[in-house]
Amino acid sequence: MSMVIRGGTIVTADLTYKSDILVEDGKIAAIGDNLTGDKVIDADGCYVMPGGIDPHTHMEMPFMGTYSEDDFESGTKAAVAGGTTMVVDFCLPAPNQSLLEALQAWDNKSSKAVCDYSFHMAVTWWSEQVFDEMKIVVEEKGINTFKHFMAYKGALMVDDDEMFASFQRCSELGAMPLVHAENGDVVATLQQKLLAEGNNGPEAHAYSRPVDVEGEACNRAIMIADMANVPLYIVHVSCEPAHEAIRRARQNGKRVFGEPLIQHLVLDDSEYKNTDWDHAARRVMSPPFRSKEHQDGLWNGLASGSLQVVATDHCAFTTEQKRMGVGDFTKIPNGTGGLEDRMPLLWSRGVNTGRLTMNEFVAVTSTNIAKILNVYPRKGAILVGADADLVVWDPKVSKTITAKHQQSAIDYNVFEGIEVTGLPRYTISRGRIAAEEGVVVAKCGDGEFVRRDAYPAVNKALSKWKELTSPRKVERKGIPAGV
């Protein structure tokens, strides 16, 4: 069955123009005027954009003694309700667990997804087995990104020697490392100090993770990636010291990417001063929310191109789960939701205020990450032959965000009460309507795994350190006797 999206204005990362779109067999078959098809979607008064891609989610993830509450069903339903048509989730092997065994578990969980998805593989420990399995993950399993936690000491954290070894392996395999950049040793020390001083409430979570903890780790990861001759993607960039490191690296020709989250763009650290324990604890995530000046820096980075992607780190815990940390903030499960609200909030606070153009909105919610993850133009594009992952966006409708009407399975929403203007009229996933005016019609299992193959060989860090990984021996004439 074919479908025509009629009467809308197409907005891509480059262009804005009026045209219809014909969809056949899940793909864009034609772009032009007066197209006909079996079914007509009315896009009058709407913008038609590539469906959003959220490259950072944690569905049903074992973490801090519990599991994140949204699974691939409720999580991807939240995605399509908000205009997102693809998520990339983190496959998280426990330390000492085989990567392939963890991947099997993620394969099983993700069969419930209602939209397309892919995985990043986490490297949470290092061994010859991990070294060997990374090749299979890239070449057979179609995963070209490996995540490293520089924080969560004693659990997920890897040390610099492990990270350097893994980054070099990524370089060999044509894969890209990702980092959660926070200095886990400093965090662990500050946590113990705060607890010893009697600071056990959720506000202490933010005190234990000051901005320099993130800035230091970000600089370190960039330099380690440079020495390994590999590009680097930094997840959840929340503050200026981290942003500054990325800006400097890019200016120096290093291929480094930075991803702020919608939570950090919209909410600030005053949330932790709220006298209601539940309110503050529900907003505990890492990195924590920052002050307004850091928030402004992130917006500027998106507009100027020093930051490329807006994600969510969607990792939702119920109030009951958050209460595991009553009396000890280090036991509050870290994470917040945001999948359903990412695009409406970014549109409202970005496009409607003039901070971002519509084309920049498409770039940072979809096209840039499709390119960075090597799935462009199958995803992130409105081109003939691309997957028909589209959002028909009505810029005039408004709503007030509330947990009462959300897809996520948790009992609150960190954006509760915020009004947004600009919402999806239709979310279309591989040519099928997945959501219509906020009602999700996509079914469990409609989503498919999207392979992401190794990067072409040219996609390397460009830097003066390249020589280090292939040092050239100096040929000398006068070698002293006895050497």
Binding interface with ligand DUC (CB under 6 A)? 58, 180, 285-286, 313, 315, 334-335
Q: Which stretch binds Zn ion (CB under 5 A): 250-258, 339-347, 428-436, 444-452?
A: 444-452
Is residue 267 within 8 Å of residue 283, measured between CB atoms? yes
Q: How far apart are CA 371 and CA 360, in angstroms?
A: 14
Residue 288: CB minimum distance to ligand DUC, A: 9
Contact at 8 Å (CB) between 107 and 142?
Answer: no
- 3 or 178: whose CB is closer to ligand DUC? 178
- With CB under 5 to 8 Å by kind, the binding choice for 444 among ligand DUC, Zn ion, none is Zn ion
Interaction of residue 313 with Zn ion, rule CB under 5 A: yes
Dist CA 6 CA 45 (whole Å): 10
Q: Which of 180, 209, 314, 425 binds Zn ion (CB under 5 A)?
A: 180
Record the tokens describing residue 32, joined without a space.
């032009």
Chain positions 73 to 102 lying near Zn ion, rule: CB under 5 A, are 73
* Contacts of 213 by beta carbon, 8 Å cutoff, 6+ apart: 182, 183, 186, 187, 190
What is the chain's Cα-based Rg?
A: 23
Which residue reads 């009992």 in tokens?
A: 411
Tell whether residue 314 is a contact of Zn ion (CB under 5 A): no
Cβ of residue 147: shortest distance to ligand DUC, in angstroms? 9
Amino acid in position 168: Q
In angstroms, the CA 124 to CA 90 distance is 12
Of ligand DUC, Zn ion, none, which one does residue 447 interact with (CB within 5 to 8 Å by kind)? Answer: none
Q: Which residues contact 208 (CB under 8 A, 6 or more apart)?
A: 187, 190, 191, 194, 329, 330
Segment contacting Zn ion by CB under 5 A, of 43-51, 158-166, 411-419, 436-444? 436-444
Quote the least distance from Cβ 322 to ligand DUC, whole Å. 12
Q: What is the closest distance, in whole angstroms, from the C-beta atom of residue 315 to ligand DUC in the complex?
A: 4
155 touches Zn ion (CB under 5 A): no
> Residue 89 or 313: which CB sits closer to ligand DUC?
313
357: left (phi over 0), alpha (psi -120 to 50) or beta: beta
Contact in structure between 121 and 103 (CB atoms under 8 Å) = yes
Q: How many residues bind Zn ion (CB under 5 A)?
A: 4
Tell me whether residue 77 or residue 180 sits nearer to ligand DUC (CB atom): 180
334 binds, among Zn ion, ligand DUC, none (CB under 5 to 8 A by kind): ligand DUC
Q: What's the min distance (Å) between Cβ of 90 and ligand DUC?
A: 8
Using DSSP's 3-state secondary structure scheme, residue 34 falls into coil
Q: By the criterion CB under 5 A, which residues form the site for Zn ion?
A: 73, 180, 313, 444
